[in-house]
Amino acid sequence: MPDRSRSPGPVLVADAGSSSLHLTAFADDGTVLASRDSASAPGSDVADQLRELLKDAPTPVAVGHRIVHGGPQLRAHTLVDGSVRDRLRFAAELAPLHVPPALAVLDAARDLLPDLPHAACFDTVFHAGLSAAAREYAVPARWRREYGIQRYGFHGLSYAWALARSSGLLTARPEDLQIVIAHLGGGCSACAVRNGHSVDTTMGLTPLEGLVMSRRSGSLDPGALIWLQTRHGFTPRELDDALNHHSGLLALSGTSGDTRDLVRDRAAGDENAALALDVFTHRCRCGIAAMAASLDRLDALVFTGEIGEDQPEIREAVCAGLTTLGLAGDLLVPAGGSEAPAELLSGPGAETPVVLVPTGEARQVALETRRLLSDGWLSPGRTPGGNSP
């Protein structure tokens, strides 16, 4: 295999979701060389999609794969070999909606490009240093020890990207900042970042916990699930499907899980759309306030994710209801098409700045992949630890 450990060149990033696939080739400076997007779950045509992308881009030096869950064993980004691939099977059990599609793409890419290094970049890595107080559930020790029941956290690649961009805008080093970042998109979570590290987050064992999401319920009294099973005969499969696919904004509104639709429908007098948005923003405020409780101070609130980036009505409602944290409404609405890495939305003299960072998970995967390649001594499965921004 050619030595690419220190060779500059394009990095191909594969970001596979439960119902989408995004392929992007990035140049050394982060320029997008080529991209392919699919609105369906990765299937048997993954290799064909990769080939189509490679027709439009220079040959990559490596492939970076975004994988939502690393499980208890994979706690740092790593180059992939057979051993790492085996350990990913357990992570797939913890996130069955997200990890299997990513592994299907990983396997197809390794078959198609066997001479390239492939990097697995995990959303859980950013939270790997959570304290025991923030990590542990109050459940029997056997559950924690034998089954890996603990809080892992997600959206870590998004948080790492947002932290670095926010620090540049705020002219402070990441290790000097204490901020809350809210990733609001199809999946939603918030994270407390102190001195460059995640110290708390709203998602837990799976990406189902925490804030209300587009089609996911967020946190729910576990007693309600037991009651539905024992009193009404719901099966685990039925509960899983309902909570992951038919809940959240979609369930509350009865029409859509897309905040753009709901903002429009609320303006037209749709009471269910108004309810959905009220519940959504209320749970966002609760989650952000809870994260702030893990900090000594709040230097800024950062919005990212598709909703956080594109929905000013949501940002306004969240901030206007958090005056106790020094936040306020009357936020600026950025002009469309801005290429700024981060923008300040709060006015001059705001007690707590509000920052907007465009979503950058794929770019963060490219950065992490290059970091692995730059450490030429690394072999698959041997990775540096820490929460790099």
- Which residues are identified as catalytic? 123
- Closest by alpha carbon to 189, among 152, 151, 155, 240? 155
Which residues contact residue 383 at a Cβ distance below 8 angstroms, ignoring those fewer than 6 apart? 76, 77, 78, 79, 372
What is the per-residue burial (b if ≥16 Cβ within 10 Å, else e) of 248-282? bbbbbbeebbbbebbbebbeeebeebbbbbebbbe
Q: Residue 157: count other Cβ atoms within 10 Å of its Cβ.
A: 29
- Closest by alpha carbon to 4, among 369, 385, 361, 258? 369
Cβ–Cβ < 8 Å for 162, 168: no
Cβ–Cβ < 8 Å for 169, 58: no
CA distance 82 to 110: 11
Lookup: tokens for 151: 């809080």
Strands 178-184 and 197-201: unpaired
Q: Residue 326: count other Cβ atoms within 10 Å of its Cβ.
A: 15
